[in-house]
């Protein structure tokens, strides 16, 4: 088989593919280290990468499988993939780190850490030293009810982390689990019920046709005086509805790591939304870096290597993505 790796690799990732080459010399591995992989798509049996266009699939006439080295698969042309019955394999090696980022941003939001820090660098004090009113106090996650919209790998890790704060946890899923989960106080199939019962909402869903715009004007009606954390994909939350709810302080605050607008070129300045969300005091923003840690990259590379190794060895498929559900 010809394996074409469309991701530019760190030294560690490159070492994984060198191991593949040594173990399976009968297979050809093309990386940016030895060629321009895009020149080899036509004869690729396997592609490693998460961003492809219709034209790439059309060119790859021999393509049998795509290995996405992370969880999100919304960067793929699914109509063409389904038409060709190409297997897609993703991995969840970064889940616990994305969950950690979600909780860290929430704590920063509730604790007004960014606001207090920025003010104190200018000599502006908050709290007892400033004789500040109650409205200036920071908030706590302890004993809050937290709703997790999307109880997959990331959602389960969020639940694990926040349980130590004494939170009551509601998990929203499309179907009820078969096994008991000691972390969860209630499973709910009703999105609006979950929003209504929660003080804090975590969004950890994949982006699919069903989840685009899932949290819109109607859903924000249930979020008055509450907090929202989004570490999944920006488009799951309607952009204008989010901005207006935060600006009007209907939504008490939001912590956001995923966006509506990204730089077209690396190192090119780009605001993350067409609305001035970044100017609001009740927002903590982050540049989509939930999985951007050394250990996260290490685990994603390990899982991609393991998945690819099993596939090349005997056709084993692990973490296959359902083409209809897109996760």
Mean pLDDT of the 77-99 span? 96
Same-domain pairing of 156 and 23: no
Q: Exposure of 269 by Cβ count < 10 A (0-12 exposed, 13-18 middle, 19+ buried)?
A: exposed
Per-residue pLDDT, 177: 87
Is residue 230 located within the same domain as residue 118?
A: yes
Q: Are 280 and 305 contained in the same domain?
A: no
Query: Same structural domain for residues 162 and 304?
Result: no
Separation CA 147–CA 313 (nearest Å) = 42
Task: Please determine, for residue 43, whether its predicted confidence score (pLDDT) is greater than 90.
Answer: yes
Report the pLDDT value the prediction gives residue 8, as an integer from 0 to 100: 84
The reported pLDDT for the residue numbered 55 is 95
Of the pLDDT bands very low, low, confident and very high (cuts 50, 70, 90), residue 143 is very high
Which two tokens mark 41? 């798509």
Q: Mind listing the pLDDT tens digit for each residue in 246-302?
A: 999 999 999 999 999 999 988 899 999 999 999 999 999 999 999 999 999 999 999
> d(Cα 237, Cα 196) in Å, to the nearest integer?
17
DSSP 42: G
Q: Mean pLDDT in the chain? A: 95
Structural domain includes residue 243 = yes
Report the pLDDT averaged over residues 137-156.
97
pLDDT interval class at 178 (50, 70, 90): confident
Q: Do 231 and 120 have their domain in common?
A: yes
Q: Which residues are paired to 67 by β-bridges? A: 48, 89
Domain count, the chain: 2
Domain membership of residue 27 (yes or no) is: yes
**With b meaning 16 or more CB within 10 Å and e meaning fewer, what string describes 87-118?**
bbbbbbbbbbbbbbbbbbbbbbbbebebbbee
pLDDT confidence bin for 79, thresholds 50/70/90: very high
Q: How confident is the model at residue 13 (pLDDT cuts 50, 70, 90)?
A: confident
Q: Are 233 and 207 in contact (CB under 8 A)?
A: yes
Dist CA 289 CA 301 (whole Å): 17
CATH number, domain of 68, equals: 3.40.50.720
The answer to the question of residue 326 being in a domain is no
**What pLDDT is stored for residue 266 in this prediction?**
84
Judged against a pLDDT cut of 90, whether residue 9 lies above it is answered with no
pLDDT at 78 over 90: yes
Task: Kindly state the average pLDDT of the residues 192-221.
Answer: 97
Cα–Cα distance, 176 to 10 (Å, whole number): 40
Q: Are residues 71 and 143 in the same domain?
A: no
Q: Give the pLDDT mean for 141-148.
A: 98
Q: Is 86 helix (H, G, I), strand (E, B) or coil?
A: coil
Average the pLDDT over 26-33 and give the result: 93
**Which two three-digit tokens encode residue 96?**
């616990």
Write the CA distances from 224 to 172, 227, 266, integer angstroms: 19, 9, 37
Name the strand (E) or helix (H) holding 57.
helix 54-59
Residues of the domain holding 147 = 95-285
320 in a structural domain = no
Q: Is residue 71 part of a domain?
A: yes
What would the mean pLDDT of 94-120 be, rounded to a whole number?
97
In terms of domains, do 119 and 240 share one?
yes
Average pLDDT for residues 66-70, to the nearest whole number? 96
- Cβ atoms 241, 254 nearer than 8 A: no
Beta bridge partners of 89: 67, 320
Does residue 7 register a pLDDT over 90? no
Q: In this model, does residue 34 exceed pLDDT 90?
A: no
d(Cα 33, Cα 12) in Å, to the nearest integer? 13
- Same-domain check for residues 14 and 48: yes
Of the chain, the percentage scoring pLDDT greater than 70 comes to 100
Q: Which pLDDT belongs to residue 157?
A: 98
Which pLDDT does position 11 carry in this prediction? 85
Is 13 inside any structural domain?
A: yes
**Pair 90, 71: CB distance under 8 Å:** yes
* In a shared domain, residues 59 and 208: no
Give strand pairing partners of 200: 146, 227
- Is the residue at 323 inside a domain? no
Q: Is 129 within the bounds of a domain? A: yes
Q: Are residues 235 and 106 in the same domain?
A: yes
Nearest CA-CA partner of 205 in 152, 256, 169, 250:
152
What would the pLDDT profile of 224-248 be if each residue is shown by its tens digit?
999 999 999 999 999 999 999 999 9
Helix (H, G, I), strand (E, B) or coil at 228: strand
For residue 153, the model assigns a pLDDT of 96
Which whole number is the average pLDDT over 49-71? 96
| 249 and 300 co-located in one domain | no
pLDDT of residue 279: 96
Token digits for 173?
Answer: 């899923």
The confidence score (pLDDT) of residue 176 equals: 87
Number of residues assigned to the chain: 327
pTM for this model (two decimals): 0.93
- 45, 148: one domain: no
pLDDT band, very low/low/confident/very high, at 10 (cuts 50, 70, 90): confident
């Amino acid at each position: 088989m010809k394996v074409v790796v469309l991701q530019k690799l760190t030294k560690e990732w490159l070492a994984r593919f060198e191991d593949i080459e040594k173990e399976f010399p009968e297979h050809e591995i093309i990386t940016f280290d030895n060629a321009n992989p895009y020149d080899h798509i036509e004869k690729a049996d396997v592609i490693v990468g998460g961003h492809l266009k219709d034209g790439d699939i059309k060119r790859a006439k021999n393509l049998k499988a795509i290995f996405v080295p992370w969880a999100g698969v919304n960067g793929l042309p699914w109509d063409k993939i389904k038409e060709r019955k190409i297997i897609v394999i993703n991995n969840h090696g970064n889940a616990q780190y994305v969950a950690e980022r979600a909780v860290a941003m929430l704590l920063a939001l509730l604790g007004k850490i960014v606001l207090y820090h920025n003010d104190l660098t200018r000599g502006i004090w908050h709290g007892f030293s400033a004789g500040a009113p109650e409205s200036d106090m920071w908030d706590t996650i302890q004993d809050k009810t937290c709703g997790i919209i999307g109880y997959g790998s990331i959602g389960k890790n969020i639940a694990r982390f926040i349980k130590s704060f004494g939170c009551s946890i509601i998990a929203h899923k499309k179907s009820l689990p078969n096994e008991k989960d000691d972390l969860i106080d209630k499973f709910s199939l009703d999105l609006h019920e979950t929003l209504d019962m929660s003080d804090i909402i975590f969004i950890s869903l994949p982006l699919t046709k069903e989840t685009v715009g899932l949290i819109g004007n109607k859903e924000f009606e249930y979020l008055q005086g509450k907090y929202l954390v989004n570490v999944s994909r920006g488009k799951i939350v309607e952009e204008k509805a989010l901005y207006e709810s935060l600006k009007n302080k209907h939504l008490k605050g939001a912590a956001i790591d995923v966006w509506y607008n990204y730089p077209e070129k690396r190192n090119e300045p780009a605001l993350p939304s067409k609305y001035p969300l970044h100017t609001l005091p009740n927002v903590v923003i982050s540049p989509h870096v939930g999985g951007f840690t050394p250990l996260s990259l290490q685990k994603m590379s390990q899982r991609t290597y393991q998945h690819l190794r099993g596939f090349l060895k005997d056709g084993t498929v692990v973490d296959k993505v359902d083409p209809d559900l897109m996760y």
